[in-house]
């Protein structure tokens, strides 16, 4: 005898869990005190130091956001990449090391430009913002990776950051950086991208670590609270699955 759950029960469960997550976020955001602590990501612990070194040498940080458009299935991945861009832009502008950001989808272009512009505004130097620091390269994954690789090989780039939706074509960017022995920081979710990046760098965040990268780098409460709420939701889902499995097993025994 198996445990059959009607579709409307699943829908009700989803709504309850969604409301639970939103409630937890509201409670945590309203609380005062220290920011929620999260597990550190070794892949990005040295990134701020790399920005400082770029400032000392007059270098440039290249950020590749990939081809994940906001109207596609990789939208969440691209939004996670934009969170990291927000943190890096703040640090880079503070040290007068404006990054070069390349995107492979036109829907990412205005968001990345706005993220960089707001970093200048927070420092009261909005007049120094240049929109051409964000470049739309090409809509094709391979063409985008080839164009981003050309940016990496340009004089002045001292480090490369890869975060977002990528496939095996990301190896074109990593090879360009390897030829110049540039530090590489990366966070991806797709297995083909992980396979291409794994031999190229030990500063690699994979899977769900990608979605935590922006929270760790920005250290903003709203992002940290969202991660805590997601972890709590995972616990509830695991308990529900275990409970359903136990009930099904009990039904078989009976």
The per-residue pLDDT for 1 is 41
Same domain assignment for residues 129 and 246: no
Shared-domain flag, residues 239 and 253: yes
The answer to whether residue 9 is domain-embedded is: no
Do 250 and 181 share a domain, yes or no? no
d(CA 197, CA 203): 9
Looking at the fold, whether 95 and 77 belong to one and the same domain comes out as yes
| 0.85 surpassed by pTM | no
The answer as to whether 93 is a domain residue is yes
- CATH assignment at residue 114: 3.40.50
Q: Give residue 31's pLDDT band: very low, low, confident or very high (50, 70, 90).
A: low
Has residue 27 been placed in a domain? Answer: no
* Mean per-residue pLDDT over the chain, rounded: 79
Q: What is the pLDDT of residues 113-152, one digit of tens each?
A: 999 999 899 889 889 899 999 999 999 999 999 999 999 9
Which position has the higher pLDDT, 248 or 17? 248
> Which residue segment(s) compose the domain that 52 sits in?
42-219
Task: Determine the pLDDT at residue 110.
Answer: 94
CA dihedral 193, 195, 200, 204 (to 10 degrees): 70
The verdict on 197 and 235 lying in the same domain is no
- Residue-wise pLDDT for 175-197, tens only, equals 999 999 999 999 888 899 999 99
Q: What is the pLDDT of residue 3?
A: 45
Residue 238 and residue 214 share a domain: no
**3-state class of 101 per DSSP?**
strand
* Number of compact structural domains in the chain: 2
CA 215/CA 209 separation, integer angstroms: 10
106: exposed, middle or buried (C-beta count within 10 Å: 0-12, 13-18, 19+)?
exposed
Q: Are residues 183 and 64 in the same domain?
A: yes
User: If residue 83 lies in a helix (H) or strand (E), which one and from where to where?
Assistant: helix 75-94
Domain-embedded: residue 152? yes
């Amino acid at each position: 005898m198996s445990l059959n759950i009607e579709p409307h029960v699943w829908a009700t469960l989803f709504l309850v869990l969604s409301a639970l997550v939103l409630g937890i976020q509201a409670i945590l955001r309203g609380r005062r005190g220290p920011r929620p602590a999260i597990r550190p990501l070794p892949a990005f612990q040295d990134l701020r130091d790399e920005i400082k070194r770029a400032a000392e040498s007059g270098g440039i940080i290249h950020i590749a956001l990939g081809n994940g458009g906001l109207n596609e299935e990789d939208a969440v991945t691209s939004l996670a990449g934009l969170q990291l861009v927000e943190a890096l832009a703040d640090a880079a502008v503070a040290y007068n090391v404006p990054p070069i950001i390349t995107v492979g989808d036109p829907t990412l272009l205005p968001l990345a430009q706005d993220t960089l512009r707001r970093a200048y505004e927070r420092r009261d130097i909005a007049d120094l913002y240049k929109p051409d620091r964000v470049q739309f390269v090409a809509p094709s994954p391979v063409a985008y990776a080839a164009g981003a690789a050309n940016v990496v090989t340009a004089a002045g780039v001292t480090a490369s950051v890869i975060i977002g939706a990528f496939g095996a074509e990301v190896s074109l960017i990593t090879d360009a950086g390897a030829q110049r022995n540039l530090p590489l920081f990366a966070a991806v979710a797709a297995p083909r991208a992980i396979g291409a990046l794994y031999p190229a760098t030990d500063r690699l965040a994979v899977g769900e670590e990608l979605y935590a990268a922006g929270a760790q780098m920005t250290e903003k409460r709203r992002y940290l609270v969202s991660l805590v709420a997601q972890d709590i939701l995972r616990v509830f889902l695991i308990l529900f699955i275990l409970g359903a499995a136990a009930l099904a097993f009990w039904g078989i025994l009976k």
